[in-house]
Amino acid sequence: MLGTMSSGGSGKRHGFSVELDDRERVKRFFILNDSGNRVLFEGFLGELKEISLVEGLMLEVRGSNGILRMDMTEEELRRALAGK
């Protein structure tokens, strides 16, 4: 599990991971220190296979090339989908 971290009084910070089955699926990976320590990671999950909420605590998007995981409760997901 990724583990949701609390950041003082500023709310929750949502952890995430990306797992790809081949480095050829990575389109771009940059660590841009000149512009405020920004990081960019782009790749190809492939054909969408499944979206699930694991144990009510982690959003998991499975594609034919890999998996994207993000700490997110069912309530947080509902609020995000409703635009709130």
Instruction: Determine which helix (DSSP H) or strand (DSSP E) holds 17, and give its type and residue range.
Output: strand 16-20
For range 25-34, the mean pLDDT: 80
Q: Kindly report, residue by residue over 39-64, the tens digit of the pLDDT.
A: 888 899 999 999 999 998 999 999 99
Confidence of residue 84 (pLDDT cuts 50, 70, 90): low
| Per-residue pLDDT, 49 | 97
Query: Of 14 and 49, which is predicted with more confidence?
Result: 49
3-state secondary structure 47-61: CEEEEEEECCCEEEE
Report which of 63, 60, 71, 51 is spatially closest to residue 21, judged by C-alpha positions.
63
Report which of 60, 43, 41, 42 is spatially closest to residue 51, judged by C-alpha positions.
60
| Per-residue pLDDT, 34 | 66
| Per-residue pLDDT, 65 | 94
The maximal CA–CA distance of the chain, rounded, in angstroms, is 40
Percent of the chain with pLDDT strictly greater than 70:
80
